[in-house]
Homo-oligomer: A and B are copies of this chain.
Amino acid sequence: MIVADDILLMIPGPTNLPPQVREALGRPSFYHRGKDFADLLAFCTDALRRVFQTSDDVLILNSSGTGGVEAAIVNTLSPGDRVLVVDGGKFGERMVEIATTYGARVDVLTVERGQAADPAEVRARLDGHVALLFVQNETSTGVRQDADLLAAAARERGALTVVDTVSSMGGMSIPVEAWGLDAVAAGSQKALMLPPGLAFVSMSERAWAAAEKARMPKFYFDLKAAQESLGKGQTPWTPNVNMFRALRAALELILGEGLEKVWQRHHALGEATRAAVEALGLELFSDREHASDVVTAVRSPEGIDSQVLVKNVSAKHGILISGGQSELRGKIFRVGHMGWCQIDDVLRTIQATAMELKALGFEVSVGDALTAARAAYAKATGEEKR
């Protein structure tokens, strides 16, 4: 095998796979138009409804997360529609590109990298726009948007919300129905503990009403076709049946642990990571109040190229963390802590990163960082009270 299998993935996707998921992936393929598949699809759709916290169907697409975002856009909009896109990073930029490609008239609300959008500013900018598009969790900067407030602003202004939750769904509580998020796309390779390759899209009643009029062309990503097939226990195009089996295994694990517990674990892992960052004398790249619970972005200390740090942590410790993308390359590093991830994985990562920072000349106390992380984790999970 040319691929090293003993690497701990602490990047914001692909993430580590649970043994149950790996076992399911390696089972035989099977027929996708029979009762077995219909049962599997029904189970997964129902479980995803719980993950999305919605009573609407969640449609399962065979594509990466970007395909899901494209589906959410082209099924709700028409060429010429005016939309406002919140651009706070690489994935906000991608929403701009998709909407533009399909002929929307795109206004961009640029948010400083590392900051969340101000809902009041968004509300003020919305002016006859058909839809507000935003990324709930911007992987490139480690920022969580106030999706509830942005959705409220959109609703007040009569705009639909199209939301990218590719990196966050499953790892954070995103009450899709209660917050009124209309077209919401998620991906498989992040908190949902699968390889890349499946996307999940929920559509509200308002989104389906928009879909009736939406004229952006789509065939493979036609959600109405997916919805009709779902009624027959099928998908419109041949699904990756092995990935569906694995999806069931992952969803069983998540529901078995309990959604509240899963979200709490992610929050606690985020708290632990942030406490370590502070104890190390480093600076979060993202606004503390809007720091993501699935990925933490950290400014690289003065004089240290984060690409070198990432490389050393990987080479010497077998742990993969991420650098920065585009203009942030070399300037930040990012730690993913989502999906099949426990506090020990985070502690190993903190230790390795701290040691390599030290080796690069940045004076830190590895022990203090680990102590702070353990304490923050215990506090966030309530374990300290036991």
Among the interface residues A25, A30, A242, which one has the most CB atoms of the partner chain B within 10 A? A242
Contact partner, A40, options B3, B65, B197, B243, Cβ 8 Å: B3
Known contacts: A67-B237, A70-B220, A196-B239. The answer to whether A30 contacts B4 by CB under 8 A is yes
Q: Report A233 CB to chain B, min CB distance, Å.
A: 13
Residues of A within 8 A of B (CB): 1-5, 7, 9, 11, 13-17, 22-23, 25-32, 36, 39-40, 62-67, 70, 97-98, 101-103, 187, 189, 195-197, 216-221, 236-243, 245, 320
**With contact pairs A17-B29, A28-B16 given, residues A217 and B7 touching in the complex (Cβ less than 8 Å):** no
Cα distance, A102 to B79, chains bound together (Å): 13
Q: What is the CB-to-nearest-CB distance from A317 to chain B, in angstroms, rounded to a whole number?
A: 15
Bound Cα distance A245, B11 (Å)? 20
Given known pairs A26-B22, A29-B195, A217-B103, the reply for A241 and B14 (CB within 8 Å) is yes
Q: Are B189 and A29 in touch, CB under 8 angstroms? A: yes
Q: Which residues of B contact A219 (CB under 8 A)?
A: 66, 70, 97-98, 101-102
Say how many copies of this protein the assembly contains: 2
CB distance from A313 to the nearest CB of B (A): 13
Asked whether, in the complex, the Cβ of A7 is within 8 Å of the Cβ of B25, the reply is: no
Q: A63-B62, A63-B67, A217-B101 are in contact. Are A196 and B238 (CB under 8 A)?
A: yes
Chain B nearest CB, measured from A314 CB (Å): 9
- Taking a contact as CB atoms under 8 Å apart, the answer to whether B36 and A28 are in contact is no
A112 to chain B, nearest CB (A): 26
Which listed residue (B5, B31, B39, B242) contacts A27, Cβ 8 A?
Answer: B5
Task: Check if B32 sits within 8 Å of A196, measured CB to CB.
Answer: yes
Q: Which residues of the other chain, B, contact A15 by a CB distance below 8 angstroms?
A: 29
Complex Cα–Cα for A63 and B98 (A): 18
List of 4 A-B pairs having minimum Cβ-Cβ separation, nearest first: A26-B26, A197-B240, A14-B29, A195-B242
Question: In the complex, how many angstroms separate the beta carbon of A312 from the nearest chain B beta carbon?
Answer: 15
B237 close to A64 (CB less than 8 A): yes
Asked if A16 and B29 make an inter-chain contact with CB atoms under 8 angstroms apart, the answer reads yes
**Contact A196:B240 (CB < 8 A) given known A40-B3, A189-B29, A219-B101:** yes
5 A/B residue pairs, CB under 8 Å, sorted by A: A5-B28, A14-B238, A15-B29, A16-B29, A196-B241
User: Given A16-B29, A216-B217, 6 other A-B contacts at CB below 8 A?
Assistant: A23-B26, A26-B26, A29-B195, A64-B237, A97-B219, A103-B217
Least CB distance from A259 to B in Å reads: 23
Picked from B14, B23, B67, the residue with its CB within 8 Å of the CB of A62 is: B67
Partner of A241, one of B4, B39, B67, B195: B195
CB distance from A81 to the nearest CB of B (A): 14
In the bound complex, residues from chain B placing their C-beta under 8 Å from that of A70 are: 219-220
B237 touches A65 (CB 8 A): yes
B195 touches A240 (CB 8 A): yes
What is the minimal beta-carbon distance from A2 to any residue of chain B, in angstroms? 5
| Complex contacts, A102 vs chain B, CB 8 Å | 217, 219
